């Protein structure tokens, strides 16, 4: 009978992580990194499943990164479910869970951050101005600490994916960034660790975000005006009880504003609050 004991190793410091990756490299094995903040769900597991098709070895990092939270945000109550996370990662065939503490990632005297522009400007940063500096810095550290061949990110955090992709290109980091399509509930709600915050009533309303994006995308594909389609979607979201941060049509790669389909591929992105929970989503138009 197969053993019920976990095969996954949990490492807490960079030196141990690098030593193990060096051993894999010496054996000619490819390495994939899946960066997470824990509270793993089926969307994270899908990242691990895709990673298994791209590399022989998988590292999942679990670190609730304080530098990407503003003082008014939910760092203190962000869900932390390490035991369950390790079980999920083990079942998905992950080799190492890298679980550093804050002092390991940001030792005393740490003062360096990455300065961003391009896809990091606007959308999320209009409401969370320091967010992507924290994301980019911790992701750069994880990439340098692990030295993977490939790193996987979910498309649900689409702006983050574009920021990380641009950063790795601009800094010549030797890693391929792979975006994995959003995993959704049957009613269309994008899986998120923050969905656990939704009340029953808010959970019933939450799929409106995806439906509004779908309707706008269909209108644009049918030749409708982009601005009009976006305005209709915004009205639908607000009428459903959301407090809307943004719902925008952007160029799918640069995230610059886009007014017509011939200007490039289109991505629709939304962020809105319902109750105490902030949700984000996005879909491609073409």
**Spatial CA neighbour of 93 closest among 60, 124, 69, 121:** 60
Is 210 considered catalytic here?
no
Coil vs helix vs strand at 181: coil
Question: Any known ligand binding at 43?
Answer: yes
Strand partners, 177: 151
- What backbone torsions phi and psi does residue 246 show, to the nearest 5 degrees? -160, 150
Binding site annotation covers 275?
no
CA dihedral (140, 145, 148, 154) positive or negative = negative
The answer to the question of whether 147 is labelled as a binding residue is no
CB atoms inside a 10 Å sphere around CB 122:
14
Q: Confirm whether residue 223 is marked as ligand binding.
A: no
Residue 179 known to bind ligand? no
User: Which residues, at least 6 apart from 161, have a Cβ–Cβ distance to it below 8 Å?
Assistant: 153, 154, 155, 177, 179
**191 known ligand binder:** yes
155 labelled as ligand-binding?
Answer: yes
Is position 76 annotated in a ligand binding site?
no
Catalytic one among 44, 210, 251, 253?
44
Which of 94, 133, 102 minimizes the C-alpha distance to 117? 133
Does 122 count as an annotated binding residue? no
**Positions at the binding site for (R)-pantoate:** 68, 160
**Positions at the binding site for ATP:** 37-44, 154-157, 183, 191-194
- Kindly list the catalytic residues: 44
**Positions at the binding site:** 37-44, 68, 154-157, 160, 183, 191-194
């Amino acid at each position: 009978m197969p053993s019920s004991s976990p095969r996954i190793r949990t490492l807490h410091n960079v030196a141990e992580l690098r030593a193990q990756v060096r051993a894999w490299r010496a054996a000619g094995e490819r390495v994939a990194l899946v960066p997470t903040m824990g509270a793993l769900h089926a969307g994270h597991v899908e990242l691990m499943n895709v990673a298994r098709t791209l590399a022989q070895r998988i590292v999942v990092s679990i670190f609730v990164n304080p530098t990407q939270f503003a003082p008014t945000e939910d760092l203190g109550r962000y869900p932390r479910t390490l035991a369950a996370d390790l079980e999920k990662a083990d079942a998905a065939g992950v080799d190492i869970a890298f679980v550093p503490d804050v002092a390991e990632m940001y030792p005393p005297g740490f003062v360096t951050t990455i300065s961003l522009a391009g896809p990091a400007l606007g959308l999320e940063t209009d409401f969370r101005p320091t967010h992507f500096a924290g994301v980019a810095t911790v992701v750069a550290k994880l990439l340098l600490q692990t030295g993977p061949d490939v790193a996987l990110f979910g498309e649900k955090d689409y702006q983050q994916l574009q920021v990380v992709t641009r950063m790795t290109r601009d800094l010549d980091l030797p890693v391929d960034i792979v975006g994995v399509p959003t995993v959704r509930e049957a009613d269309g709600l994008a899986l998120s660790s923050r969905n656990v915050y939704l009340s029953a009533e808010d959970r019933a309303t939450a799929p409106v975000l995806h439906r509004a994006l779908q309707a706008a995308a269909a209108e644009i594909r049918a030749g409708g005006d982009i601005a009009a389609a976006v305005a209709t979607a915004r009205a639908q979201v607000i009428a459903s009880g959301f407090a809307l941060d943004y719902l925008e049509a952007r160029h799918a790669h640069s995230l610059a504003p886009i007014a017509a389909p011939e200007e490039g591929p289109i991505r629709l992105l939304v962020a809105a609050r319902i109750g105490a929970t902030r949700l984000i989503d996005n879909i491609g138009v073409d």
